[in-house]
Chains A and B, each alone.
Chain A
Amino acid sequence: MAKVEREGSVSEGELREFLREMLLIRRFEEKVEERFRAGELPGFLHVAIGQEAVAVGVCSALGEDDVFASTHRAHGHTLARGTHPNHVMAELYGKLEGCSRGYGGSMHLYDVERGNMGANAVVGGGLPAVTGAALAFKLRGEARVALAFFGDGATNIGTFHEALNLAQLWRVPAVFVCENNAWAESTPASQHMPITDMSDRALAFGMEAISVYGQDVEEVRAATERALQHARSGEGPVFMDVETYRLTGHYVGDPQVYRPKGELDELRETQDPIDRLRERLGLADEELERIDREVTEIVEESVRFAKAGTDPAPEDALKNVYA
């Protein structure tokens, strides 16, 4: 296990782009919360406010032909991979223009063209398929990597252990990114894990593990590059334990009665990845405000696009059951 330090492989220009993307994701999710509370969005949804550096750091490192699977908290991953905000928002509104054509919703965002093999609403449910995708790449001799996002809560379920065991056994090019925000819905890590160092999970399989501080996008990016390089070179899969913070509830509207009083305020003060990157870049207020205006307009436009989108016909429900 190695602790990754900043390696300075990312240029200042790229870092500014990261900031823009992270802010876009933040504003997108804030807007989604707002529209949900206004009663415009069906179903229910989970935002990843506070975890933007993980999405952007990891997805920016992926190669064009790499694939990934996401979780119920998937907006950030999907946007960071380049799916247009219009198509993500349209999905949340249940429109045919949505990235899953209105068949998926917030917890089932897909964009196969961009290697998004689906956000999964069964915790840990997508992990074995990541091992299998990586197996396909290995069998065909393709230099591609399959990557899984999942949370600390997922490390308790059988699919996690079976998927990692198979991946290491078969030395497939997979990367397992644990977004370790220390909460499984409302259950703290102390109540769901008998260990304190998450990367010990990987040791059980003899798997390469990297621990990384997930509120620093540069660190995440550097660690992901290393992990991808390791996997792509045929040395086998990598487990990334990414320490991150969910600066909201489990779902939109979660009263978070389980959280110690004051914890959230403190975390928002100290663990906001966007504040951190802004400081790192020494960005002036007006510069940040300019970026903010730009991304806010993109988000507003996505809402306009989604609302003007096409509702599926009821009988469209009968399509796509079989190929």
Chain B
Amino acid sequence: MPELSYREAVRDALSRAMRADEDVFVMGEDIAEMGGSMGVTQGMLAEFGADRVRNTPISEMGIVGAGIGAAMQGMRPVVEIMYEDFLTLSLEQIVNQAAKHRYMSGGQLKVPITIRTQGGAGWSPGAQHAQQLEAWLVHVPGLKVVFASTPADVRGLLWSSIYDDNPVIFFEHRTLYGLKEEVPDELEPIPLGQARVHREGTDVTVVATGRLVHESLAAAQEAETHGLSVEVVDPRTLQPLDERALVESVQKTNRCVVAHEAVTRMGFGAEVAAVVQYAAFDWLDAPIERVGARFTPIPFAPVMEEFVVPHANDVLAAILRTVGKDVDGG
């Protein structure tokens, strides 16, 4: 089994799809010679040429819209938006066009576009290059939203996103690109809408996305020293959401923590909390805890950035609160 980094896994999925299918092509800013600002598309220009690894001007709404038009004509374009902060520039096209053409046409059209983007704090890029905006997109009917946290997941989910007949917003996390793991020789597509249980446990369920999956796994490890068995579940697809997997886990553990890097308030975790409390109300032994960023823009100075976004110790503290303990063991 080859070992791939998260970055290489994205590239592998793109390249395999482009080898298999002439209708798949990628476009975005600085993705050709430079290989993308995160290096994801490095080497692809040489293999696939400039028509299919299409370098674009700085025109987020133009290139997303062009991808929509190509998709409506039967292509499967993958548009890269360099930072998810810049998704804001293309939101009209995503929200009013991609998400609605099928509906407004009464089902005549499909828009099989995948919009890849990345973001996240942890390296002091400041307030306009580090946001986590997935909650904006899960609120829009017609879109699918994916947030992958491991190399194997990002590869299998990206493949499924490219071949999904709906617009998919595909979030990657900036700090995960170097993460490596062994993946099968053959790419195994991962169906959209299927959660993954990363670690089984019996006392507390942590529902986590993106970087917080790894922070939560570290917190779960630490929780063992407090005598707690923690289950970590990654929904992987935020829309559609594998509600059943989350609810079943909480029905087993009776406690739930939701963790993401985006701001807590009005975040994706609020929806998870609502779903879980409604379906598992009688099973819950404690209020559902939420972990996320504080309600500020992402600050520049490392000490402030570190303070604003959540880490393993924040997840651990939340886990302990669900069993009536605090971090000091009191």
Contacts and interface: CB of A to CB of B under 8 A. Distances in A.
Nearest to A139: B51
B76 to A, nearest CB: 10
A322 interface: yes
A122 B103 contact: no
A320 B102 contact: yes
B104 A136 contact: no
A128 B61 contact: yes
Nearest to B60: A162
A133 B72 contact: yes
Interface string A95-139: 000101111100010111100011010100111111111111101
Given A108-B104, A166-B57, A166-B59, A125 B92 contact: yes
B62 A162 contact: yes
Nearest to B66: A132
Contact of B63 (A104, A113, A166): A166
Contact of A122 (B59, B63, B72, B96): B96
A135 B102 CA distance: 20
Interface string B62-73: 111111111111
Contacts, number: 144
Interface residues of A, number: 44
A134 B103 CA distance: 23
B97 interface: yes
B106 interface: yes
Interface in B134-164: 141-142, 144
Contact of B62 (A108, A118, A165): A165
A67 to B, nearest CB: 7
Contacts of B108: 100-101, 110-113
Interface in A145-170: 146, 158-159, 162-163, 165-166, 169
Interface string A171-196: 00000000000000000000000000
Contact of A136 (B56, B69, B92, B110): B69
Contacts of B6: none
B69 A129 contact: yes
A307 B36 CA distance: 55
Interface string B93-109: 10011000111111111
B263 to A, nearest CB: 27
A103 B59 CA distance: 31
Contact of B93 (A101, A125, A166): A125
Given A128-B64, A130-B69, A132-B68, A139 B25 contact: yes
Contact of B103 (A127, A140, A166, A321): A321
A323 B107 CA distance: 8
B126 interface: no
Nearest to A131: B66
B243 interface: no
Contacts of B102: 320-323
B201 interface: no
Contacts of A132: 65-73, 77
A103 B104 contact: yes
A125 B77 CA distance: 19
B166 interface: yes
B279 interface: no
Nearest to A164: B62
A319 interface: yes
28 contacts: A101-B106, A104-B105, A108-B105, A110-B106, A113-B108, A117-B69, A117-B109, A118-B104, A118-B105, A128-B66, A131-B65, A131-B66, A132-B65, A132-B67, A132-B69, A133-B73, A135-B69, A139-B25, A139-B51, A139-B75, A162-B57, A165-B57, A165-B62, A166-B56, A169-B57, A320-B102, A321-B102, A321-B141
